[in-house]
Structure formats: C-alpha cells, structure tokens
Structure 1
Amino acid sequence: MRLPLPQFDRGDRHPNHFAEVIETSTCEFLAQCLEPEDLTFPPMPPFGSWVYSVDEESGNQIYAVVHYATTMPVDSVHRPVALGLSLQELREEQPQIFAMLKTEFRAVIVGFETTSKSQGFGNRVYQYLPPRPPQIHQPVYRCEPEAIVKFTEEFDFLRTLLCVNSAPVESLTAAAIREVYQLRKADRQWLIKAGRTLSVLLKDDYDRLRFILSQIHP
C-alpha cells in the first residue's frame, strides 16, 4: 500500500503544483515530483519543458527549463528488478513498488519575474539569474502557456541554455524552442527571430547551429 504523506495537503494544492525543491543553487535546482494519489508513477516532466518556483523572501517568480529527469529507488538498498509485469499487473500484485520509487528532475534557471509594484511599475520579466534561487521545500509548478509566451518575448534565455554544463545543450535548446513555438501557435516570425539569435550566438560554430536547427520542425 502507498504510505500517506501528511506533509502535503492535496485538497489545497494548486493544480500545476507537481514537485518540490529538494536541492538548490544559484544556477539551477533539483526537485522531486509529488506522489500521485493513485497507484501510478509520478509524472516525469518532459525534457525542455518550462517550470517555475518562487523565492519566498523577494516574491520573485523564478523560471527554469528541465534538462534532466530520472526515476530511481527511494533508497540504495531496495533496487528495482525486472518482474515482467504490466503496470496493471503491478498494481494488482506488487502495489508497494510504486511507493519504493521517486522521480526527480533538474531545471536550469533562465530568469525571473518580479512582483514588486514600487515606483509605479508592475510585474517585470528579466532573463538573467535572480538574486536568489528558490528555497528548499518550495513548490514547483508547470508554467502556464501565457507565462511562457510573455517570458520568451526576448531571446537572452537561449544564451543561458547554450551554457548548461550538465546537459546535451543543443538538444535542450531545440526542445525549449519547440515547446514555445507550439504554445505560440506556430508563430513563424518568432521562430525566425529565435533562429537569428542562435546564428549570432553560434556564429563561430556552424556545426552546432545546424544541429540545433535540424531538431526544430516548423
């Protein structure tokens, strides 16, 4: 049986709240997906998808792109073994399996949005590192399409993605662009601007540029 997790009040949880920060740093954070209520594995966020968390001290909404995800045992003792069963058979015969695994992901911080209205300004978006990353145990949310569209009016986030050390950055950049392009309802002018920005950033590395562009399908 799945063990209850009293630390999460499912009744009050925002529908886009699906993970929690368990490790944080200036440039990225590690989050663990929350366990679903039924006997299924926690949903793994897609590679290149957009998420956000919050710096509680400043109220900044911090945007990040998922660049690594994994499902692993909760501890190093009980390792999974191949059982040859379907998911439905696992639910019926080995339901404890679902409580023995966890899904984690890393997301690179690409910018933030302020919530301060001082000096007559409302929310403002910045495509550089925030003063502080989200704190440990802060919730992580899936980004709403409108928020991603607003954030990607500028293209400085592409430089950040191209500098990630622990990911296949060409594939990551292409995946992030593909998602934004779909959310923008195939806005070809935006895609052309993104391609031009990449051509400037990679003007001395045509092979990398060509590889990224080959993974973007208008």
Structure 2
Amino acid sequence: MPEMPVRIAEVIEATSTEFTAAAYELLQAPPLGALVRAQARDERGGVYGLVYDIRTGSRDAGGRAVVRGRTYAGREVYDADIYHEHPDLAEVLQTEFSAVIVGFVDDGRICQFLPPQPPPVHYSVYECDIEEVQRFNQATDYFRTVLFMPHIPGDETLAAALRLAARAASDERAFLVRAGREIAALLHDDYDRLMAILRRIRP
C-alpha cells in the first residue's frame, strides 16, 4: 500500500458501515466523493471510505457559529476576510466529514466489502493519492454498497467518486464506459435513476 505520510484528519466516530473524521485544518475537508483511508489497528491495514457529507460548525456540543460579517456598529467584513480578521475561528470551529465504508486492506489485498472492525476512534485519516485511487478502482464491487446504502446521498456520492476516479485513470473515457455499464447492470429496473447518474459522470 502506498505510503501517505500526511494525515488530514482523525476518526471521531465510527460504525461498521461509516466513519466520521475531524479535519486538522479548518475548511480543508476532502471533496464529496473523495476516496479516503482510515488507519486500522493493524499497522499494515486500512479502511476505505467515500466522503458523502462535509460540515463545519462549533467545536462545542450544542454550540453554533455567530454572525461575523456585519457588526452592530455598521462595520462590514465578508467571506475570506472574516477568517483573516478573526484567526480565533480556527480554535472555535471544526470541519468534519463522514465517509461510507467501501472496503479495507487485508494482508496487502484490497477487499471491497465491510471490514471485520471499523477504524478506531482517534486513528489517522488520509486522502488517497492517484495511484491508490487507480488501484482501488480496478474493481467495482463498491458501487452496490454506495447505491443502496440507506440515509446517504448515494447517487451523488458515487457520481462524484467516479468523476474523481476518471481523472486519475490512464484512460478516462474507457473507465467511465466501464463504470457506466456496471451501474446500468445494477439499476436496470430504474431507468430514471440510472440516467440521472450517467448524466452526472459524463466528462
């Protein structure tokens, strides 16, 4: 498995089917559909997930961000300037992302089904590089997991993941054709849903 020395986040919650991680940098979560790898207890292992939800809010439970763009005195500061004016926001806000589990590493082999255990809380999370994305997408068994997982935006997540994977592929068109055929086989009885996904993955 390629070494990925830069940790982007750590697991703060995990179940058998998904995990949530807190990013180390505010507003620096991987994009929707990104393939990420959480470290497993076995140093040689890892748990793969596709990012399906990204959120930023107060670090304090039950807390909420407050308006900073306009003061009662009439002073106006907007967008990125707010973060420059208030560097303390990095201490009071936190960016988190959730990923649906789509596989794991077992003795150096990628398996595209649920691992025996989810990643441990407080273990590291890495965004996969091009080589790892290519290796993971040699198989497509994870398509079914994403499309039929309840309570997540599976269609949008898979489409986003395939757009990212296509950019990493040696032959983008061939990859998307193969992916489209796999999706068509899974959704052969739901034409409208199938076409909506295919429209989202066209280059």
TM over 0.5: yes
Partner of 2:72: none
Q: Alpha carbon RMSD of aligned pairs, Å?
A: 1.8
Q: CA deviation at 1:98?
A: 2.4
- Trace 1:165-204 onto structure 2 (pairs within 5 A): 165-204=150-189
Distance 2:175 2:82 in 1: 47
3-state secondary structure, aligned to 2:99: strand
2:28 maps to 1:43: yes
Q: CA deviation at 1:189?
A: 1.8
Decide whether aligned partners of structure 1 residues 89 and 132 sit closer, same or farther in structure 2, where only a CA change above 3 A counts: closer
2:11 maps to 1:14: no
Distance 1:155 1:95 in 2: 43
Q: CA deviation at 1:169?
A: 1.5
Distance 1:74 1:201 in 2: 40
For structure 2, list consecutive stretches of 5 or more residues without a partner in the other structure.
70-76
Work out whether residues 34 and 42 of structure 1, in 8 Å CA contact, stay in contact via their aligned partners in 2: no
The higher relative CO (CA closer than 8 Å, separation ≥ 6) is in 2
Q: CA deviation at 1:196?
A: 0.8
Partner of 1:100: 92
Distance 1:56 1:23 in 2: 15
Matching residue within 15, 19, 24 for 1:29: 19
83-92 or 65-74: bigger deviation: 83-92
Amino acid in structure 1 at the alignment position of 2:90: F
Partner of 2:41: 56
Partner of 1:119: none
Amino acid in structure 2 at the alignment position of 1:47: L
Percent identical across equivalent pairs?
Answer: 37
State the TM-score, normalized to the length of structure 2.
0.87
3-state secondary structure, aligned to 1:95: coil
For structure 1, list consecutive stretches of 5 or more residues without a partner in the other structure.
1-12, 36-40, 117-122
Decide whether aligned partners of structure 1 residues 132 and 89 sit closer, same or farther in structure 2, where only a CA change above 3 A counts: closer
Partner of 1:91: 84
Work out whether residues 47 and 115 of structure 2, in 8 Å CA contact, stay in contact via their aligned partners in 1: yes
Amino acid in structure 2 at the alignment position of 1:108: V
2:150 maps to 1:157: no
Decide whether aligned partners of structure 1 residues 75 and 192 sit closer, same or farther in structure 2, where only a CA change above 3 A counts: same
Partner of 1:120: none
Decide whether aligned partners of structure 1 residues 77 and 206 sit closer, same or farther in structure 2, where only a CA change above 3 A counts: closer
Work out whether residues 68 and 82 of structure 2, in 8 Å CA contact, stay in contact via their aligned partners in 1: no
- Trace 1:73-152 onto structure 2 (pairs within 5 A): 73-76=58-61, 78-84=63-69, 85-86=77-78, 87-92=80-85, 94-114=86-106, 116=107, 123-152=108-137
- Deviation string, structure 1 residues 33-72 (Cα, Å, up to 9, x no partner): 114xxxxx34022111110012114732211100001001
Distance 2:193 2:63 in 1: 41
3-state secondary structure, aligned to 2:8: strand
Q: CA deviation at 1:158?
A: 0.6
Amino acid in structure 2 at the alignment position of 1:110: V
Distance 1:153 1:211 in 2: 24
* Equivalent residues, number: 192
